[in-house]
Amino acid sequence: MTSHFLPDIKLCAGRWIDGPHAQITHEITYHQLAEMVESPATRRAKMAASWFMPSSYSGVGARTAVAQLAKGTYWALIGDIDKPDYVLADLLDAARDTAPGCSFLIYSTPSSTEEVKRWRVVFPLAAPLEPELYSQVCGAMVEQMAENGVVVAPESVDVARVYFAPTLLPGGYYRYHVEYGPGLVLFGHPLMARAKQMKDEDEALARVVFDDEPSLDKATLRLLQDYNNEHPLRDEFPKFGYVQTGAKRWRSPMQTSKMGGTVIHPHNPLRWVSHSVTDANSGLGKETNNSMQIRMAGGYDGEPIRCTGDAFDLLVHYRYGGNFARAIRDLRRANAGELGVEIMREHEGRREWAKKQRRGMVHEAAKQLEKERAEQSELMRRALKGDTK
């Protein structure tokens, strides 16, 4: 390996990810990291592997966000790729499109197997980033990689995130690629423009005000709040066919664009917003106009926010065909124990539920309720007839 073709940068690193020596840190050069990629250490267990960070600060408290936010300088953009359906060729194409002509490292992580492949990509920088700007630019990298066909974990923007160094476990899967070239120059690069755009989007979204439905009573509003608290949007979106296309973006099953138009609100994680005309025209959520009790300020991606909602709005649209009254009725029954809570939590489709009803496979709680009512009716009938037996 010729170091002339690799950037001369240093990153914070350590030998132990956990335990009494976890806070002992040192520096590692990008050249050394590239050598580790080509010749990974063999360990008996993943937790015995060494680690590194995108920041060069390796002093006291280097593993903490507080220390890195105060003293960190970031020399690399790093992303984890946890989707199991990518092969190395997919990653190479996406990385080269994201940072043309620049160096990068790709290697399979210690948790990879032949069946479930997981990857890591490291883009060295020509100049360092401050912590706040790092999160924004790393988020832009996540978005750009998604646009290029590879979904990178949104947690990669964490300023204190540590990454396992290249490690080969017994019987494990390992593949890698070292791309030679200079560090990524961000000045004038599309990633910087995208980072600024994402920051502007967050500021615009922060000005969106959500009002409760005035027609609902307080008990129902509390019921909806409990439902939304128990159903995080990051868990709900995949259940309804949404595909994550970036650090913050999701593509609904109705959207046809490559990048998703749905975003979880940055300051209210229980609410989502969509600038997709297709979503709005389908009746999903609530349209963003005054008559729907939602005031909008700012836009998203140069387009106005078309509709917004929460986890219950997803349930209403995709499982109840937009029938809010029926959905809220079933939610009340579930809360009262008349229907199995599992039905609401697992989002059983109406057709599947109807099939089960036709087959007599009704919920055990409903059976018990029916039995008790029948017994009460029989006792009342006997009482009216004077039959005390």
The pLDDT > 90 percentage for the chain reads: 35
Could you give the CA distance from residue 286 to residue 273 in angstroms, rounded to a whole number?
10
Q: For position 168, what pLDDT does the model report?
A: 86
Q: For position 203, what pLDDT does the model report?
A: 74
Q: Are residues 123 and 59 in the same domain?
A: yes
Last residue of a domain, one of 198, 227, 261: 198
10-14, 167-171, 276-280, 346-350, range with the lowest pLDDT: 346-350
Q: Are residues 225 and 102 in the same domain?
A: no
Q: Are residues 20 and 165 in the same domain?
A: yes
- Segment 176-214, tens digit of pLDDT: 999 999 999 999 999 998 888 878 777 776 666 665 565
Q: Which of 322, 284, 268, 280 is nearest to 305 (CA)?
A: 280
Residue 54 predicted with pLDDT over 60? yes
Q: Are residues 156 and 73 in the same domain?
A: yes
Of 296 and 346, the structure prediction assigns the larger pLDDT to 346
Q: Are residues 271 and 145 in the same domain?
A: no
For residues 104 and 123, the answer to whether their CB atoms sit within 8 Å is yes
Could you give the CA distance from residue 377 to residue 374 in angstroms, rounded to a whole number?
5
Q: Are residues 302 and 331 in the same domain?
A: no
Q: Are residues 302 and 363 in the same domain?
A: no
For residues 124 and 9, the answer to whether their CB atoms sit within 8 Å is yes
State both tokens at 167.
Answer: 């490690």
For the beta sheet containing 104-108, the strands, ordered from the edge strand earlier in sequence to the opposite edge, are 74-81, 119-129, 104-108, 176-179
Owner of token pair 């997981």: 118
Q: Are residues 97 and 160 in the same domain?
A: yes
Beta strands in the chain (DSSP E): 10-14, 25-29, 41-42, 51-52, 74-81, 104-108, 119-129, 163-164, 167-168, 176-179, 209-210, 243-244, 249-251, 262-264, 271-274, 286-287, 294-295, 307-310
Number of domains composing the chain = 3
Residue 325 predicted with pLDDT over 80? yes
For residues 106 and 140, the answer to whether their CB atoms sit within 8 Å is no
Please report which confidence band the pLDDT of residue 61 belongs to, taking 50, 70 and 90 as the band edges.
confident
State both tokens at 131.
Answer: 């912590």
Q: Are residues 257 and 315 in the same domain?
A: yes
Of 106 and 196, the structure prediction assigns the larger pLDDT to 106
Last residue of a domain, one of 146, 180, 198: 198
Q: Are residues 270 and 141 in the same domain?
A: no
Q: Which of 65, 1, 60, 53 is nearest to 27 (CA)?
A: 53
C-alpha dihedral (17, 19, 24, 30), degrees to nearest 10: -10
For residues 195 and 141, the answer to whether their CB atoms sit within 8 Å is no
User: Which residue range is the domain that position 333 belongs to?
Assistant: 324-385
Residue 329 predicted with pLDDT over 90? no
Question: Is residue 190 helix, strand or coil?
Answer: helix
Last residue of a domain, one of 173, 198, 223: 198
Q: Are residues 189 and 211 in the same domain?
A: no
- As a whole number, mean pLDDT of residues 6-24 equals 78
Q: Are residues 147 and 250 in the same domain?
A: no
Please report which confidence band the pLDDT of residue 339 belongs to, taking 50, 70 and 90 as the band edges.
very low
State both tokens at 191.
Answer: 């990633």
Alpha helices in 240-290 (DSSP H): 277-281
Question: Is residue 383 helix, strand or coil?
Answer: helix
